[in-house]
């Protein structure tokens, strides 16, 4: 019992450390880019990697298909659900790797949410001609929840041209990988991919753990105990 409690406590702190660590890295990179580069300015690192400062109103990798306020509220609700789920999970039987991957997704979601919540309140607007600066809280370029998300990582791994015989895109430039993203986006993507690869069975219990928690674990233990009795009989 003491070992189990120690594991629960350990994984709870591990989740906090992962979330805080990713948030700190994400915000340091974003603030450095925003306060030292003008909008759409690029820094060439290699042929396949550039720092390209852009801002967007949308989700990961610049996707935009929801109203800004709706998207921000959705992020708050989603982050709250994931955070509460991790809290419930670490008090039940679980795998540490599952907690780690969920924490990566949570940290990424909070990282981009932080931009939307506060960047409009504490920064001047970035433009192609001016570099953003810190301003007194509440005097920035946008109200609460309306700040723009900062992106900067650009990996044009392959730059070529579609063959002329290809319908629609023939003769057009083709770039792989074209989206510009940030550290929070990468954390979400890596976390989701790892969850789908290694924790699909864990994900099946998401709603059960979220809404039933300890009751579900007791029922599972009872079922396992009955199976053991039958096997030993």
Gap between the Cα atoms of 194 and 160, Å rounded: 30
Gap between the Cα atoms of 25 and 67, Å rounded: 28
**Residue in 11, 26, 115, 151 annotated catalytic:** 151
* Whether residue 164 lies in the annotated active site: no
Cα separation values, 109 from 41, 106, 116, 178, 227, Å: 25, 5, 11, 21, 41
Which phi-psi region, left, alpha or beta, contains residue 62 (left: φ > 0; alpha: ψ -120 to 50)? left
Long-range pairs for 24-32: beta carbons < 8 A, 24 or more residues apart? 25/183, 26/107, 26/108, 26/111, 26/182, 26/183, 26/184, 26/187, 27/111, 27/114, 29/152, 29/182, 29/183, 30/115, 30/150, 30/152, 30/182, 30/183
* Whether residue 151 lies in the annotated active site: yes
Segment holding 42, helix H or strand E:
strand 42-46
Q: CA nearest 151: which of 61, 69, 42, 75?
A: 61
Token pair 């057009």: residue: 172
**Residue in 11, 115, 185, 202 annotated catalytic:** 185
What is the set of active-site residues?
Answer: 151, 185
């Amino acid at each position: 019992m003491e070992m189990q409690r120690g594991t629960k406590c350990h994984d709870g702190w591990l989740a906090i450390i992962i979330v805080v660590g990713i948030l700190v890295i994400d915000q340091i990179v974003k603030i450095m880019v925003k306060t030292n580069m003008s909008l759409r300015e690029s820094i060439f690192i290699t042929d396949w990697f550039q720092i390209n400062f852009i801002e967007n109103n949308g989700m990961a990798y610049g996707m935009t298909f929801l109203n800004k306020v709706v998207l921000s509220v959705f992020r708050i609700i989603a982050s709250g659900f994931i955070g509460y789920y991790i809290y419930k999970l670490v008090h039940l039987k679980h795998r540490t790797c599952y907690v780690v991957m969920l924490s990566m997704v949570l940290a990424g979601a909070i990282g981009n949410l932080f931009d939307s919540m506060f960047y409009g309140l504490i920064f001047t607007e970035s433009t192609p001609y001016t570099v953003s600066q810190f301003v007194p809280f509440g005097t920035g370029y946008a109200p609460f929840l309306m700040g723009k998300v900062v992106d900067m990582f650009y990996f044009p791994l392959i730059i070529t041209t579609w063959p002329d015989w290809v319908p629609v895109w023939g003769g057009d430039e083709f770039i792989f990988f074209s989206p510009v993203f940030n550290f929070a986006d990468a954390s979400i993507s890596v976390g989701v991919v790892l969850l789908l690869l290694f924790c699909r069975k864990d994900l099946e219990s998401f709603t059960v753990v979220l809404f039933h928690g300890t009751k579900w674990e007791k029922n599972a233990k009872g079922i396992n105990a009955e199976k053991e009795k039958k096997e030993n009989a």
